[in-house]
Amino acid sequence: MPSLKDIRTRIVSVKSTQQITKAMKMVAGAKMRRAHDAVVGARPYAAKLETLVRHLAASGGEATHPLLEQRPVQRATVVVMTSDRGLCGGFNGQLLRAVEVELKGHPQVTYEVIAVGRKGRDFLKKRGYSVVASHEGMGGHLTPEFARELVAAPITAFAAGQTDQLVLAFSTFKSAIAQLPTLEPILPVPLPKVEEGGVAGDASYLFEPGEAALLADLLPRYVATRTLRALFESEASEHSARMAAMDAATNNANDLIRSLTLSMNRARQAIITKEILEIVGGAEALAA
């Protein structure tokens, strides 16, 4: 049984750890609220741009663009968005397991990986996947410029026929306690289903300066916008997962402190009882 001093030392250690987890929970909560605001702000613009691009691409005109070309997938590029640090529950593990299932599920496809976050880079490199680029330390520094730079090489490769698909792997922010691993193909641009009589939905637009010119400008912007939205989703998911993990750690520390305090009281009571018995025994021996 641990000594009374050992138990007291452990209680002090757990309390110190608890202070750290409380602080990390508060920091993660503040960052999560800012990231959530960014997600909420990015979603409507990204959705409207996606609708415009899809209708423009499927409007029935003669405009074409290399980013719209549908072809059998033999080579694909996956942008995997994870965190640089741990202590965020199952945030990284759930996404990376989903990515690995996807990659193993298509052995005929040659995959190249662009890793955003150290955890994803290390995980995939250890398993022998081709990580052609990695980015670290982007938390809190996500900008449209970074999103454009991130997908510039895959866009060029797709237009040149060097890759057949671009997929974003990220965690969709559902709530403070729920994050959904998501693998979202964004190239080639998916088109609306064609129904009898024309394109599904209302595609009656007048385009100026013209469909071809608009496609050339909007498609790279569409890919970058979808990527930026995914980065925001991933960042919000990371902070919410870390906040939940630190909250659970703080509660576990409370339970452990209560258990150790009970053990300390029992050990102290045992020492007191032993001393009393020794005194009584000594007194009885002297009386005899």
Q: Where are the alpha helices (DSSP H) in 105-199?
A: 118-126, 144-159
pLDDT of residue 192: 60
User: d(Cα 99, Cα 104) in Å, to the nearest integer?
Assistant: 9
The pLDDT-based confidence of 193 (bands split at 50, 70, 90) is: low
Q: Are 223 and 155 in contact (CB under 8 A)?
A: yes
Burial class (CB in 10 A: 0-12, 13-18, 19+), 200: middle
pLDDT of residue 271: 84
User: d(Cα 219, Cα 102) in Å, to the nearest integer?
Assistant: 26
pLDDT of residue 205: 62
Mean pLDDT of 225-237: 92
CATH homologous superfamily for 23-244? ATP synthase, F1 complex, gamma subunit (3.40.1380.10)
User: d(Cα 116, Cα 233) in Å, to the nearest integer?
Assistant: 13
Mean pLDDT of 27-34: 90
Percent of the chain with pLDDT over 90: 52
**Position 26 pLDDT exceeds 80:** yes
Mean pLDDT of 74-86: 93
| Residues tagged active-site | 88
User: d(Cα 241, Cα 235) in Å, to the nearest integer?
Assistant: 10
Mean pLDDT of 268-285: 84
User: d(Cα 39, Cα 288) in Å, to the nearest integer?
Assistant: 84
pLDDT of residue 236: 92
pLDDT in tens, 87-98: 898 899 999 999
- Structure token digits, residue 134: 């990695």
pLDDT of residue 197: 45
pLDDT of residue 60: 52
**Position 200 pLDDT exceeds 60:** no
Q: Which segment, 19-23, 174-178, 213-217, is predicted with the most confidence on average?
A: 19-23
Average pLDDT, the chain: 86
pLDDT of residue 63: 56
The pLDDT-based confidence of 65 (bands split at 50, 70, 90) is: confident
* Residue 275 or 14, more confident: 14
The pLDDT-based confidence of 288 (bands split at 50, 70, 90) is: low
**Domain boundaries along the sequence of the chain:** 23-244
Q: Tell the residue number behind the tokens 């499927």, with chain if given.
A: 58
Tally the C-alpha atoms within 13 A of residue 251's C-alpha that lie toward its C-beta: 6
pLDDT in tens, 234-267: 999 999 999 999 999 999 999 999 999 998 888 8
Percent of the chain with pLDDT over 70: 91
Instruction: Convert 50-65 to b/e letters by CB count within 10 Å (16 or more is b).
Output: beebbbbbbbeeebeb
Measuring CA to CA, which residue among 177, 287, 198 is closest to residue 242?
177
pLDDT in tens, 208-217: 777 777 788 8
**Position 4 pLDDT exceeds 90:** no
